[in-house]
Homo-oligomer: A and B are copies of this chain.
Amino acid sequence: MARRRSIISIPSLGSLDKTAGRVGQQLTQALREAISKGELKPGERLPSTRALATSLHLARGTVIEAFHQLHAEGYLEARSRGGTVVTNVNSASGFVSQTHSPKESALIGPGLPANVARLAEVARTLRPQRAAPFAIAHPAGGVAPDDKWRRLGNRVRAMRVAAPSGYIDSRGLFELRVAIADYVRKARGVKCDPGQVVITAGIQQGLFLAATVLLSPGDAIWAEDPAYPGIVAVLGNFDVSTHRIPVDAQGIDVQEGLNRCPGARVAFVTPSHQYPLGMPMSMARRTALLLWARQNNAWIVEDDYDSELRYAGHPFPSLQGLDSARVIYIGTMSKVLVSSMRLGYAIVPPSLVDAFAGARALIDRHSPAADQYVLAQYMREGHFEAHIRRIRSAYAERRTVLIAAIEEELPAWATLQSSDQGMHLVLCLPSGLDDVELADRAEKIGLVVRPISPMYHDTPPRCGLMLGFGGFSVPELRGAVIRLRTLLDASVGAVKGSKLSKPPGLEAVS
């Protein structure tokens, strides 16, 4: 085990300036830097909060607060007997504690269950990103529903009814189901009554519930290629045969699905904003997909994770709105409110509502009651739609700035995938580059980018980086593009063979 580090050997701590104020934030930042620069190494033990406070002449509470913040961000983690060590944030294994990587786990003790390695890998794949540009799934701090949401919450929670002592309906709070039915009818043309709404803990649980209800052992399934790692993880948990169907500029290639496996039982798709690439599914493909589902008594799970955030033109109708009998529509509040709240919804054909309620009861009974009351009131009083208008306008500005900065700063061989909504863009790179290695190197200079090539399975992978822009200010985004340029410039040397050129078959951003 790494010995506890003496304080003197952490140079970044020398930057603390007590006369400048906000010394707690300075300390947090200095420790982040020490970790990024490698002054503090993965697995290494930190000084105790007491020792650090004494040597830096700070209140111990300030040090504890900084440690808490870095724990929350995933930089630090706990060890036995109160010790604190640095998490390995610079590698893919960062989320998983160092002493028990799956390879080791498989060797520890007899009789370890067969699922351990697979599930530990899921933990790694789905680990949260740090809140640095260009993390995705981070709605904007500055435009998050802060004071209004909080005051409303305090008021609602003061009513005893909002914290019932017992369980509530697994389908969710009735008032919230009414508000969501109204909202998706208006905003997405979804056809439903409140009885068809099942409150979920977000998209991930929506996918898990849909799989629990719809899948039987041995079923054939369609998923997109590339696909959201969350659905890949879910399908890996069920005994089904998954066919990864290629995605082109119009979305999932339905004809290719028919060629490969016409008898699939369920198709999991992201028609509004393909994950990760970002293009919408064309109307022709929507029609073809629904025709397939009707003719084969198959189901479609429509993952509409960020359709609120649309910047141009009119959206295609939702698949559910086109044929509500064969579609499970799932949405989330994560992208418009905050992800850490864990509230979403599934709109379910009437014949499946009871089964969804049962699956939810089985897994965790129901979502916490209090936030459901708060959200229902927030929607009923009109704050929700006002909030969406506000963030859409803020995100539109950030998106425009990001596109302009990329066009101005980045080499011509790095192009943006066409997309008209959402909170991220995909920067397509020539196939000679290694996007996974680029992402690792980006992490070291404080950039969080998600490589797209690991999201492909059967199709030859494209090389690219997902750039989330929702959670970051215009100056942060500009600065991050400059750092990204440095990284790309340095990477050119690493490419062997022919001159870099624009990646093939991609359209410029609108």
A residues adjacent to B (C-beta < 8 A): 68-69, 71-72, 74, 77-81, 95-97, 99-102, 105, 108-124, 126-129, 131, 135, 137-141, 144, 146, 150, 153-154, 157-158, 160-161, 163-170, 173-175, 177-178, 193-195, 200-202, 204-205, 208, 212-217, 230, 233-234, 237, 239, 265, 296-299, 325, 338-343, 349-359, 361-371, 471
CB atoms of B351 and A119 under 8 A apart: no
A120-B354 contact, Cβ under 8 Å, with A114-B216, A195-B77, A213-B113: yes
A452, B428: Cα distance in complex, Å: 62
How far apart are A199's CB and chain B's nearest CB, in angstroms?
A: 12
CB atoms of A72 and B208 under 8 A apart: no
A78: B residues at CB distance < 8 A: 174, 177-178, 193-195
Out of B161, B356, B364, name the residue touching A364 (CB < 8 Å).
B364
A78, B174: Cα distance in complex, Å: 8
Out of B72, B153, B368, name the residue touching A340 (CB < 8 Å).
B368
A99: B residues at CB distance < 8 A: 350
A to B CB contacts below 8 Å, 25 in the list: A68-B175, A78-B193, A78-B195, A100-B351, A108-B350, A109-B351, A112-B351, A113-B216, A113-B265, A113-B355, A119-B358, A120-B355, A122-B359, A126-B358, A128-B167, A129-B166, A144-B163, A202-B365, A237-B362, A239-B239, A339-B365, A340-B366, A340-B368, A364-B364, A370-B371
How far apart are A161's CB and chain B's nearest CB, in angstroms?
A: 6
Out of B80, B114, B144, name the residue touching A195 (CB < 8 Å).
B80
A137-B166 contact, Cβ under 8 Å, with A100-B354, A353-B97, A353-B100: yes
CB atoms of B362 and A105 under 8 A apart: no
A202, B325: Cα distance in complex, Å: 34
CB atoms of A165 and B144 under 8 A apart: yes
Known A72-B174, A126-B170, A163-B338; 13 more pairs at CB < 8 Å? A80-B195, A96-B357, A100-B350, A105-B354, A105-B355, A108-B351, A113-B213, A115-B214, A117-B355, A119-B362, A123-B358, A233-B362, A341-B368
A115: B residues at CB distance < 8 A: 212-216, 355, 359
A116: B residues at CB distance < 8 A: 213, 351-352, 354-355
A116, B115: Cα distance in complex, Å: 26
CB atoms of B354 and A119 under 8 A apart: yes
How far apart are A468's CB and chain B's nearest CB, in angstroms?
A: 10
A363, B217: Cα distance in complex, Å: 19
CB atoms of B113 and A215 under 8 A apart: yes
Out of B110, B164, B237, B339, name the residue touching A212 (CB < 8 Å).
B237
How far apart are A332's CB and chain B's nearest CB, in angstroms?
A: 11
A170-B72 contact, Cβ under 8 Å, with A164-B338, A164-B340: no
Number of chain copies forming the complex:
2
Closest to A170 in B: B123
A121: B residues at CB distance < 8 A: 358
CB atoms of A166 and B81 under 8 A apart: no
A371: B residues at CB distance < 8 A: 368, 370
CB atoms of A79 and B165 under 8 A apart: no
A173, B165: Cα distance in complex, Å: 24
A168, B202: Cα distance in complex, Å: 14
A211, B106: Cα distance in complex, Å: 18
A137, B98: Cα distance in complex, Å: 39
CB atoms of A174 and B77 under 8 A apart: yes
A128-B168 contact, Cβ under 8 Å, with A353-B97, A358-B123, A361-B233: yes
CB atoms of B363 and A208 under 8 A apart: yes
How far apart are A61's CB and chain B's nearest CB, in angstroms?
A: 12
A367, B202: Cα distance in complex, Å: 11
CB atoms of A471 and B165 under 8 A apart: yes
A135: B residues at CB distance < 8 A: 166
CB atoms of A340 and B370 under 8 A apart: yes
How far apart are A380's CB and chain B's nearest CB, in angstroms?
A: 11
How far apart are A350's CB and chain B's nearest CB, in angstroms?
A: 6
CB atoms of A95 and B166 under 8 A apart: no
CB atoms of A131 and B217 under 8 A apart: no
A212, B175: Cα distance in complex, Å: 33
A137: B residues at CB distance < 8 A: 166-167
